[in-house]
């Protein structure tokens, strides 16, 4: 009887109900925009509503057959975020005359299709562990592509390549392949990293040769900052590795070493490269008239702050504000546009959806039985969290503006494609964690943490020596 009570349930019906709510949010936002700006239901409204609804229903049906135990909350959250983003981009198009919403809808279709392909092709996420070092090579190729003749420089940053019919940002895919590499490397070498090294006071310092991946991650982030002039991706790549190595080892020493490398790299970059110094100066002296007026200054950030201030607590209402006054309101600054028309309450609701999405990813990491899956789910979830922090922090002037896109909401096909692939991987890992356990030995490389254990990491070393080292 107890076995029957504890048997996991697919919960796809709950997902279906949540999808109805999510579609009501996304399509409802587009409805308000259309009524306010056009006064009637245009072809664009019906096309966007029908396409988004059809895509997520198809995705839901695929999950019923391919991953019926997957988390029932992830897909509805992503659907709502994607729908709200489409509505705001459409609202800005109606003022500017652009067709960014049509392109975003096309990329949404391609992204959902790619996510479905991942669910069909990748039956088990652990297969990715076989491609640990191949993922590193692929990451290097993707990051070098913008520096080849295919690369295109836009607004001073060289992070895109030309595809003939448009541009694509390879770094968005590289964050996934880097997460696969870090997860594979750390899950294989975790015990060695824990046991080896010298203890200095309360800190267990790693051996120099074990710092190879950290040095590689640091060089990658500095290289992106220097050669591609992309501060946001630089922070994202190094932050991804720092989060994953802390989850794998729970060693504060790795975090301290990583922060030291960040500080050194940042100071050197500020002294040697003018674009880095200008970005920092535009952050610190944002309201200085000279800084506002100069090319590449703080005008964009200041206008975004004025928009947020005019929105107040409840916002001006969808279609009632002037977010079009902000440069790149549909991509870099879409948070400012949403904050102006939805207010602080609406913006908090959006942030809460991101928090729920990230927490469901961490929950999948806690439940899965293999170390590689734990680290991969944590890394991918942290990528979304860090990207949201960097974007929202830049728009609100908490940190320098970096130019990253808001996941699932900003206009940008490469970001949308990469994040929907992340959703597919998180759903696969959550399906493995929620699926009824098959009797047999635990994963040979890592076992789940025991309730009440003192170590904050998500995993436990196997050997007694490693456990003792972990306590130290």
pLDDT tens sequence across 449-461: 433 333 334 444 4
CA-based torsion, 454, 457, 458, 462: positive or negative:
negative
The encoded tokens of residue 221 equal: 């982030």
How many angstroms separate the CA atoms of 471 and 465, rounded?
Answer: 10
Give 162-175 pLDDT, tens digit per residue: 887 778 888 889 89
Confidence band, pLDDT 50/70/90 cuts, at residue 471:
very low
| DSSP letter assigned to residue 198 | E
pLDDT at 286: 85
Q: Mean per-residue pLDDT for 73-98?
A: 92
Q: Which of 25-29, 190-194, 394-398, 452-456 has the lowest mean pLDDT?
A: 452-456
Element (H, E) at 267: helix 252-272
Lowest mean pLDDT among 7-11, 58-62, 204-208, 431-435: 204-208
pLDDT at 437: 66
Whose CA is closest to 111, among 86, 148, 144, 136? 86
16, pLDDT greater than 80: yes
Average of per-residue pLDDT across 181-186? 88
Of 66-80, 313-327, 441-455, least confident by mean pLDDT is 441-455
Q: What's the residue count for the chain?
A: 472
CA dist 154 and 382 (Å) reads 27
Average pLDDT score, the chain? 81
pLDDT at 115 over 70: yes
Q: What pLDDT is recorded for position 202?
A: 57
Q: For residues 91 and 467, which has the higher predicted lDDT (pLDDT)? A: 91
Q: Is residue 430 a contact partner of residue 71, using CB atoms and an 8 Å limit?
A: yes
The pLDDT score that the predictor gives to residue 225 is: 63
pLDDT score of 255 more than 80: no
pLDDT at 204 over 90: no
Residue 472: pLDDT above 60? Answer: no
354 pLDDT band, cuts 50/70/90, is very high
**Section 280-287 average pLDDT:** 84
Average pLDDT over residues 297-321: 89
Task: Give pLDDT, residue 446.
Answer: 42
> Of the given ranges (154-163, 177-186, 194-203), which has the lowest mean pLDDT?
194-203
Is residue 133 very low, low, confident or very high in pLDDT (cuts 50, 70, 90)?
Answer: confident
Give the whole-number percent of the chain exceeding pLDDT 90: 37
pTM for this predicted structure: 0.86
pLDDT at 441: 42
pLDDT of residue 195: 66
pLDDT value, residue 228: 64
435 backbone φψ class: left, alpha, beta (φ>0; ψ -120 to 50): beta
For residue 458, give every residue at least 6 positions away whose Cβ sits within 8 Å of its Cβ, in sequence order, or none: 247, 365, 366, 374, 378, 448, 449
| HSE value, Cβ hemisphere, 13 Å, CA-based, for 105 | 24
For 313-352, what is each residue's pLDDT tens digit? 999 988 888 888 888 888 889 999 999 999 999 999 999 9
% the chain with pLDDT above 70: 81
Q: What is the pLDDT of residue 61?
A: 95
Lowest pLDDT segment from 88-102, 138-152, 176-190, 452-466: 452-466
| pLDDT for residue 468 | 37
β-pairing, 151-154 vs 459-460, is unpaired
Q: CB of 41 within 8 A of CB of 468?
A: no
Q: How confident is the model at residue 2 (pLDDT cuts 50, 70, 90)?
A: very low
d(CA 382, CA 430): 16
């Amino acid at each position: 009887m107890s076995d029957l009570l504890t048997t996991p349930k697919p919960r796809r019906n709950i997902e279906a109900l949540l999808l109805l709510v999510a579609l009501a949010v996304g399509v409802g936002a587009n409805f308000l925009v259309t009524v306010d700006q056009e006064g009637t239901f245009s072809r664009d409204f019906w096309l966007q509503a029908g396409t988004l609804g059809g895509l997520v229903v198809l995705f839901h049906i695929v999950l019923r057959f391919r991953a019926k135990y997957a988390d029932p909350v992830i897909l509805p959250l992503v659907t709502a975020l994607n729908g709200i983003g489409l509505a705001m981009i459409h609202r800005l198009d109606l003022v500017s005359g652009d067709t960014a919403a049509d392109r975003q809808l096309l990329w949404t279709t391609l992204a959902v299709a790619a996510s479905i392909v991942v669910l069909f092709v990748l039956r088990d996420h652990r297969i990715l562990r076989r491609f640990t070092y191949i993922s590193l090579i692929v990451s290097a190729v993707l990051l070098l592509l913008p520096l080849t003749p295919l690369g295109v420089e836009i607004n001073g940053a060289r992070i895109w390549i030309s595809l003939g019919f448009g541009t694509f940002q390879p770094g968005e895919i590289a964050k996934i392949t880097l997460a696969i590499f870090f997860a594979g490397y750390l899950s294989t070498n975790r015990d060695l990293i824990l046991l080896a090294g010298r203890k200095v006071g309360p800190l267990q310092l790693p051996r120099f040769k074990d710092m190879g991946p950290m040095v590689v991650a640091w060089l990658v982030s500095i290289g992106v900052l220097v050669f591609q002039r992309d501060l946001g991706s630089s922070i994202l790549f190094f932050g991804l590795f720092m989060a994953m190595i802390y989850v794998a080892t729970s060693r504060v020493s790795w975090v301290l070493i990583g922060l030291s490398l960040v500080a050194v790299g940042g100071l050197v970059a500020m002294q040697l490269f003018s674009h880095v110094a200008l970005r920092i100066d535009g952050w610190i002296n944002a309201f200085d008239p000279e800084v506002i007026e100069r090319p590449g200054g703080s005008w964009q950030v200041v206008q975004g702050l004025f928009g947020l201030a005019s929105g107040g607590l409840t916002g001006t209402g969808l279609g009632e504000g002037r977010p079009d006054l902000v440069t790149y309101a549909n991509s870099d600054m879409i948070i400012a546009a949403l904050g102006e028309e939805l207010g602080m309450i609406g913006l908090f609701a959006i942030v809460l959806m991101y928090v729920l999405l990230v927490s469901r990813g961490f929950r999948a990491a806690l439940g899965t039985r293999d170390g590689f899956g734990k680290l991969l789910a944590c890394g991918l979830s942290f990528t979304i969290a860090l990207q949201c922090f960097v974007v929202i922090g830049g728009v609100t002037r908490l940190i320098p503006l970096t130019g990253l896109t808001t996941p699932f909401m900003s206009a940008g096909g490469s970001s949308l494609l990469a994040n929907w692939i992340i959703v597919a991987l998180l759903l696969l890992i959550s399906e493995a964690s929620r699926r009824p356990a098959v009797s047999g030995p635990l994963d040979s490389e890592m076992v789940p943490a025991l309730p009440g254990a003192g170590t904050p990491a998500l995993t436990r070393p196997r050997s007694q020596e490693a456990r003792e080292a972990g306590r130290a």
